[in-house]
Structure 1
């Protein structure tokens, strides 16, 4: 199972987390977030896909960050429309000569979710990411009811996110054995593995990665 560690912020911590070889490292570009990233990303293994996380950003801003940081995945965490996603893909294409950059669209879930919303994004984005609906754009620290995903109608891969920590390990393993996990692409973790916003606990993450990789 692929693992994404999101909300990276501090250089030494980025290097330490990269040493455990997660599949994705996420960097948030949203000024209202306590994990908003600025500065340089230290050298990390090329096998780790650097992921830029954006909230209703301009396409020019995203393209600028792709060129600057060599992102291999773009996560859209706002109210981006299918038309916006198409325009972004057309702008990415000339700089993505090896067709490696993944495009993800986030949808936040609380008690219910209207899966018909996904239909207009089909064939445009590479993955959906399901997060917990809360007052913040991610990093709220609690899970939504994963049973809602029993009604998932799509074959587009999805990423499970929202309040996942070591305490949720058993629940994650149970979910991975369930029929609704058929199209899961990765597990996304953030605030439950932090000392402070943006600084991750490497030993806890090592434990979690080992368990979900078995």
Structure 2
């Protein structure tokens, strides 16, 4: 059983090097100015120059307009567009048609009924990502990367015709339980490998990816 890992919100060369060296399958770059992990297209392009082709590059956007997507794609060779806002199925389909790049659609989960939304994207997106929904009472909540965990048992028994990824407060200490309970085969971390918001810890990245390899053993 191979568990693939995504390290999201990368902003510096040391973190990218750690992700590549320790076996990440995906590296994520955030193009959303309110996020502490936001990065300019030019800085992102420089960061990914040393990323091998077999490691997939994901750009995270929140309700982006076409101009922003075009600006980023003009300089950053993304393999995936991650949509982490309130994009409708119709908007996801339009983005796929216009830019010709696979789309990863985030679904925010607090209770099992939230899973219903995922079905609306199943035949449109190329992959789904399940993340914890921030409570309305949470101050300065972001669309993702809040370090929150949802009940992984809600994923049990769910079947989708496209791949899916688990996110939400994952780190080296809890990812084994998350995979065991949810059945995830792809996992995503951001805040779980940070020293502070927007600043990744290469040691924590190594530990997270080592935990995934231990699950495989």
Q: TM-score, normalised by structure 1?
A: 0.85
CA distance in 1, matches of 2:106, 2:159: 16
The match for 1:80 among 82, 87, 93 is: 87
In the alignment, is the contact (CA less than 8 A) between 1:63 and 1:91 conserved in 2?
no
**Secondary structure at 2:177 match in 1:** helix
In the alignment, is the contact (CA less than 8 A) between 1:17 and 1:200 conserved in 2?
no
**Secondary structure at 1:167 match in 2:** coil
CA distance in 1, matches of 2:83, 2:52: 24
**Secondary structure at 1:61 match in 2:** helix
CA distance in 1, matches of 2:14, 2:175: 26
**How far 1:151 sits from its partner (Å)?**
5.2
Equivalent position of 1:97 in the other structure? none
Equivalent position of 1:14 in the other structure? 16
In the alignment, is the contact (CA less than 8 A) between 1:115 and 1:153 conserved in 2?
no
Question: Which runs of at least 4 in structure 1 moved beyond 4 Å after TM superposition?
Answer: none
> Once the two structures are superposed, what CA deviation does each residue of 1:169-198 show, in whole Å capped at 9, x if it has no partner?
3313423xxxx52xx451000101111223
1:158 aligns with 2:201: no
**Secondary structure at 2:146 match in 1:** coil
Equivalent position of 2:115 in the other structure? 115
Instruction: Point out where structure 1 has 5 or more consecutive residues left out of the alignment.
Output: 94-100
Equivalent position of 2:137 in the other structure? none
Alignment of 1:80-159 (within 5 A): 80-93=87-100, 101-134=101-134, 135-150=141-156, 152-159=158-165
**How far 1:160 sits from its partner (Å)?**
0.1
CA distance in 2, matches of 1:125, 1:71: 16
Choose between structure 1 and 2 for higher RCO, CA contacts under 8 A separated by at least 6 residues: 2
| Residues 77/198 of structure 1: CA separation in 2 closer, same or farther (3 Å cut) | same
**How far 1:199 sits from its partner (Å)?**
2.4
**Secondary structure at 1:52 match in 2:** strand
Root-mean-square deviation (Å):
1.9
* Number of aligned residue pairs: 201
In the alignment, is the contact (CA less than 8 A) between 2:108 and 2:114 conserved in 1?
no
Q: TM-score, normalised by structure 2?
A: 0.84
CA distance in 2, matches of 1:119, 1:170: 27
CA distance in 1, matches of 2:18, 2:175: 22
In the alignment, is the contact (CA less than 8 A) between 1:10 and 1:198 conserved in 2?
no
